[in-house]
Amino acid sequence: MSSPPSKKLPVAVVGATGLAGQQFLTALANHPQFEIVRLAASARSAGKKYGDAIREQSGQSRWYADGELDPRFAALPVVDSTELQVSDLAAVFTAMESDAARELEPLYARTTPVFSTASAFRYENDVPILVPGVNLEQAAPLIAEQRRARGWKGYITPNPNCTTTGLVITLRPLHQAFGVKRVFMTSMQSMSGAGRSPGVLGMDILDNVIPYISGEEKKVEIETKKILGSVAGAAIVPADMKVSCTCTRVAVMEGHTESVFVELARAASPEEVRAAWDSFGLGANGFLTRGLPSAPRRLIITHDDPFRPQPRLDRDNEAGMATTVGRLRKDDALDNGWKYMLVSHNTKMGAAKGAVLVAEALAADGLVG
Task: Return the range that interacts with a copy of itself (CB under 8 A); candidates 43-51, 155-163, 223-231, 239-247.
Answer: 239-247
DSSP character at residue 91: E
For a copy of itself, the closer of residues 192 and 302 by Cβ is 192
234 near a copy of itself, rule: CB under 8 A:
no
111 near a copy of itself, rule: CB under 8 A:
no
Query: Which residue among 121, 155, 184, 287 contacts a copy of itself (CB under 8 A)?
Result: 184
Burial of residue 13 (number of CB atoms within 10 Å: 0-12, 13-18, 19+): buried
For a copy of itself, the closer of residues 83 and 207 by Cβ is 207
Q: How far apart are the first and last CA of the chain?
A: 21
Find, among 322, 319, 297, the residue nearest to 308 by Cα.
Answer: 322
Within residues 304-323, the interface with a copy of itself by CB under 8 A covers 304-313
Is 175 an annotated catalytic residue?
Answer: no
242 near a copy of itself, rule: CB under 8 A:
yes
From the candidates 175, 256, 303, 345, give the one annotated as an active-site residue. Answer: 256
Burial of residue 167 (number of CB atoms within 10 Å: 0-12, 13-18, 19+): buried
Is 256 an annotated catalytic residue?
Answer: yes
CB of 354 to a copy of itself, least distance (A): 20
Binding mask 206-225 for a copy of itself (x = CB under 8 A): xxxxxxx-x-----------
Return d(Cα 176, Cα 167) in angstroms, integer: 14
341 near a copy of itself, rule: CB under 8 A:
yes
Report DSSP letters for 147-188, one per residue.
Answer: HHHH--SSEEEEPPPHHHHHHHHHHHHHHHHH-EEEEEEEEE
336 near a copy of itself, rule: CB under 8 A:
no
Query: Which residue among 2, 3, 30, 58 contacts a copy of itself (CB under 8 A)?
Result: 58
CB of 58 to a copy of itself, least distance (A): 6
Return d(Cα 163, Cα 256) in angstroms, integer: 7
CA 206 vs CA 202, 211, 247: distances in Å: 6, 14, 18
Query: Which residue among 331, 336, 364, 369 contacts a copy of itself (CB under 8 A)?
Result: 331
44 near a copy of itself, rule: CB under 8 A:
no
Return d(Cα 359, Cα 61) in angstroms, integer: 30
Return d(Cα 246, Cα 232) in angstroms, integer: 31
Residue ranges that bind a copy of itself, judged by CB under 8 A: 58-61, 64, 182-184, 186, 188, 191-192, 196, 198-212, 214, 242-244, 246, 248, 250-253, 257, 259, 261, 304-313, 326-327, 331-334, 337, 339, 341
Residues involved in catalysis? 162, 256
